[in-house]
Amino acid sequence: MSCAKYQFTDALLCHDDELEGRRIAFILYLVPPWDRSLGGTLDLYSVDEHLQPKQPVKSLVPSWNTLVFFEVSPVSFHQVSEVLTEEKSRLSLSGWFHGPSPPRPPTYLEPPLPRSPHIPRDHEILYEWINPTYLDMDYQVQIQEEFEERSEILLKEFLKPEKFAQVCEALEKGGVEWSSRGPPNKRLYEQAEESTLPGVLRDCMELLHSEAFFLLLSNFTGLKLHFLAPSDDDEVADGKEGEVASTAAGTEEGASPSSSEPENGPGPTGNTSQQSDGQTDSAAEGIDAKNELNVPMCHGELRHWQTGHYTLIHDNSQAEFALDLLLYCGCEGWEPEYGGFTSYIAKEEDEELLTVNPENNSLALVYRDRETLKFVKHINHRGLEQKKTFPYRTGFWDFCFVYYE
């Protein structure tokens, strides 16, 4: 049993409470007079055919000296919605009654996200879109040195100002079809329907997907994202020992016929706690999407972020070697305290390795290994303050690409 105090902007995102031996969850509320407008409700989710949570179907308002309890099961998905008052705190005692767990259905694993190789586009596209500073050879060498040392870099004012302005304008104008990405125990944000993207946004997606851009990224990072890029083996002389040295291992993994990652492993039992305010990763899944041809691949999406959105690290989050790219738009007045930043943590350790904050026209590159997971921090109701200074704004957008050697 423990006591929890939720204050302004605190929330506990969708999870099922399942842990070996937990049978009944209970909560005794010790709240001052409370109503729905203060947030902090206990929301219970329905599930889909894969027993994944869909949406809240019941929402309980906490009240003084009220006991709530429910059976812990593979479908007992619930959340504590964000507390919206600065005046009151939501106090409760909660815990579990234990006993032998009944047999569980097999863990559902999401199909991996589709990956594709570069699309043919020559260098022209780079000169058209990218700040010329980043196409300067000497500067690329500097970038690569820094990247190899730190495994991450932030390239500010990445697109030419006129191109970036066009992208922002297209996003602000609307006309993009967004669909909500779930399930809520793993993520909640909006993803653009790629087939309906207006011209300039489609072109920007194409840029990040292009052959020329794969080459540029190879130059920035020293990774072999194109067969023409020099590989580690070609540069024996230099004894650099950054994390990027492990890329060699990554390539071998890609080529080996089977990985013994716990795809069919023991599932969400025992020793993994879901109670940490653990947040989640989407791209980390699908490690088994084998790169048969050993061709560099990528997956990319255009996302919209606003209050209520997040991604979570979950029991089946899997880490793999990959290069993450984030390019942000519409971040005027965005503050880290709103959430929405991307946080990288060491697997098993909850230790924060790196935070990437949304920033207009800045391109973040992060190379992660199999010990690293990432999540996007829940965007709280403070995020609505952006509107005070920028009335036409609701959140921000990012182009999120992941590249595999």
Q: Of the two residues 100 and 257, which places its CB atom closer to ligand NAG in the complex?
A: 100
Q: Residue 7 CB, nearest distance to ligand NAG (Å)?
A: 30
In the bound state, the residue with its beta carbon closest to ligand NAG is: 270
In angstroms, the first-to-last Cα distance of the chain is 47
By CB under 6 A, residue 20 contacts ligand NAG: yes
By CB under 6 A, residue 128 contacts ligand NAG: no
Reading the block at residue 135, the tokens are 């196409």
42 φ/ψ angles, rounded to the nearest 5 degrees: -95, 110
Q: Residue 330 CB, nearest distance to ligand NAG (Å)?
A: 7
CA-to-CA dists, residue 24 to 15, 100, 374, angstroms: 15, 11, 31
Interaction residues for ligand NAG, span 310-369 (CB under 6 A): 332, 360
- Going by the DSSP 8-state scheme, the letter that residue 64 receives in this structure is T
As a whole number of angstroms, the distance between CA 266 and CA 255 comes to 26
Sign of the four-CA dihedral 383, 384, 389, 390: positive
Q: Of the two residues 180 and 275, which places its CB atom closer to ligand NAG in the complex?
A: 275
Angle at 282 between CA 277 and CA 287, to 5 degrees: 120
- The residue length of the chain stands at 405
* Residue 342 · residue 326 · CB < 8 Å: yes
By CB under 6 A, residue 170 contacts ligand NAG: no
Reading the block at residue 155, the tokens are 């390239």
Site string for ligand NAG, 211-250 (x = CB under 6 A): -x--xx--x-------------------------------
Site string for ligand NAG, 199-218 (x = CB under 6 A): -------------x--xx--
93 φ/ψ angles, rounded to the nearest 5 degrees: -105, 135
By CB under 6 A, residue 154 contacts ligand NAG: no
By CB under 6 A, residue 164 contacts ligand NAG: yes
- Selected range binding ligand NAG among 71-79, 87-95, 108-116, 162-170, rule: CB under 6 A: 162-170
Q: Give the footprint of ligand NAG on this chain (CB under 6 A).
A: 20, 126, 135, 137, 164-165, 168, 212, 215-216, 219, 269-271, 332, 360
